[in-house]
């Protein structure tokens, strides 16, 4: 049999190309070409009518001219803080919720699962608007509720204070997206066969120990995926800040993320004219940051994760 096939000339397998073509075409058209366009635009200066190549000039300006670099690094620092809050609050919370949900004795599991996941599918416009209203010192229910619990003096206009605004927004983002890690971890927990847990019990590992020693190692690959999704999502974040704080990212730029910085640079704001070349440079830097983060994950973390087959 092996002999017969090796003697025959292999036909060119057209069907592979044909089946790949639609995806490759659409992906190139919608993703690759615009991406290359952005990269190219970031090396130019001037507007449509007279455009000139300046190599890395825009990047030099972005990093060395204090008028640009201070804004950029401020947005970068805020973005890291935003990411850390999401990593430290959203993901552990997601795991906890998933662990609770996978408890077979919990009643109304379906209801909780849906209720916690629903904010994820809400539009960010609704999320931003609803939270702005909830936290509003004028119309919001938060001050009323806090007064009811005799904690009225602790109420602050959180979205308007420099020292709280970014944390508040990060927590709103956590509220919105906690459903994603919860669902992924929940699915991973469900895929662990009962035999493994039963075997562990026979060996005397029960309760919390079972979670730390058996379940957690088994869901680590999922946690890796969640981390990288959070990273990419957070460094692309823009919408929530835009809706809640406008593109001015106030107060005093304390909620400015790379996304809003990019928006102001590229499209302009009020009297500030948009600069598409500078904007592309910012977009390129954002792309490189995300690419770098994903690469670090792929080459260091991903390789060390052990996968278990059942």
Partner 1 sequence: MMTRLHIKLMLATAALAVGTGLAPAFAASNLTIESWRPDDLPIWQDTILPVFMKEHPDIKVTFAPSDSTQYDAAVRSKLQGGSAGDIITCRPFDASLALFKAGQLADVTSLPGMENFSPTAKVAWSTDDGKQAFCVPMASVLHGFIYNKDAFDKVGITAPPKTMDEFYADLDKIKADGTYIPLDLGTHDQWEAATMGYQNIGPNYWKGEEGRKALIAGTQKLTDPQWVAPFKELAKWKPYLADGFESQSDSDSTNLFQNGRAAIYPAGSWAITSFEKNPDLKMAAFPPPVAKAGDECYISDHVDIAMGINAASKNMEAAKTFMTWVASDEFAALYSNALPGFFSLSSHEVKVKDPIAQQFVAWRNSCKSTIRSTYQILSRGTPNLENDTWTASANVINGTQTPEAAAQKLQAGLDSWYKPAK
Q: Which residues bind partner 1 (CB under 8 A)?
A: 47-49, 67-68, 132, 135-139, 143, 155-162, 245-248, 250-253, 267-274
Q: How far is the CB of 7 from partner 1 (least distance, A)?
A: 35
The C-alpha atoms of residue 257 and residue 237 are separated, in whole angstroms, by 7
The smaller minimum CB distance to partner 1, of residues 53 and 139, is found at 139
Q: How far is the CB of 22 from partner 1 (least distance, A)?
A: 18
Q: How far is the CB of 148 from partner 1 (least distance, A)?
A: 17
The smaller minimum CB distance to partner 1, of residues 113 and 132, is found at 132
The C-alpha atoms of residue 253 and residue 257 are separated, in whole angstroms, by 9
Q: How far is the CB of 243 from partner 1 (least distance, A)?
A: 10
Radius of gyration of the chain (CA): 25
Q: How far is the CB of 269 from partner 1 (least distance, A)?
A: 6
Q: How far is the CB of 66 from partner 1 (least distance, A)?
A: 8
The smaller minimum CB distance to partner 1, of residues 57 and 293, is found at 57
The smaller minimum CB distance to partner 1, of residues 185 and 256, is found at 256
The smaller minimum CB distance to partner 1, of residues 68 and 235, is found at 68
User: Which among 303, 233, 260, 245 is positioned nearest to 87, based on CA atoms?
Assistant: 233
The smaller minimum CB distance to partner 1, of residues 209 and 246, is found at 246
């Amino acid at each position: 049999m092996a002999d017969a096939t090796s003697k025959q000339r292999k036909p060119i397998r057209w069907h592979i190309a044909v089946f790949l073509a639609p995806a490759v075409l659409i992906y190139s058209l919608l993703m690759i070409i615009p991406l290359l366009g952005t990269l190219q635009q970031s090396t130019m200066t001037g507007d449509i009518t007279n455009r000139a190549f300046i190599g890395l000039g825009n990047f030099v300006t972005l990093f060395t001219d204090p008028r640009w670099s201070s804004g950029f690094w401020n947005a970068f620092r805020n973005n890291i803080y935003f990411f850390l809050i999401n990593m430290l609050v959203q993901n552990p919370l997601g795991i906890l919720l998933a662990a609770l949900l996978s408890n077979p004795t919990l009643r109304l599991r379906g209801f909780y699962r849906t209720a916690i996941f629903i904010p994820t599918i809400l539009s960010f416009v609704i999320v931003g608007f609803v939270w702005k209203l909830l936290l509003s010192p004028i119309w919001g229910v938060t001050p009323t509720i806090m007064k009811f619990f005799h904690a009225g003096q602790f109420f602050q206009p959180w979205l308007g204070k420099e020292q709280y605004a970014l944390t508040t927004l990060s927590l709103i983002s956590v509220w919105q997206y906690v459903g994603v890690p919860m669902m992924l971890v929940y699915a991973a927990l469900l895929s662990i066969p009962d035999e493994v847990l039963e075997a562990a019990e026979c060996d005397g590992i029960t309760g919390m120990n079972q979670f730390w020693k058996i379940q957690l190692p088994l869901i680590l690959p999922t946690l890796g995926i969640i981390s990288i999704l959070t990273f990419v999502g957070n460094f692309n974040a823009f919408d929530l800040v835009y809706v809640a704080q406008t593109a001015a990212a106030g107060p005093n730029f304390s909620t400015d993320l790379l996304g809003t910085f990019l928006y102001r640079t590229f499209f302009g704001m009020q009297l500030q004219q948009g600069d598409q070349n500078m904007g592309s440079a910012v977009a390129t830097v954002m792309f490189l940051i995300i690419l770098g983060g994903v690469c670090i994950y792929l080459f260091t973390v991903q390789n060390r994760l052990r996968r278990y087959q059942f």
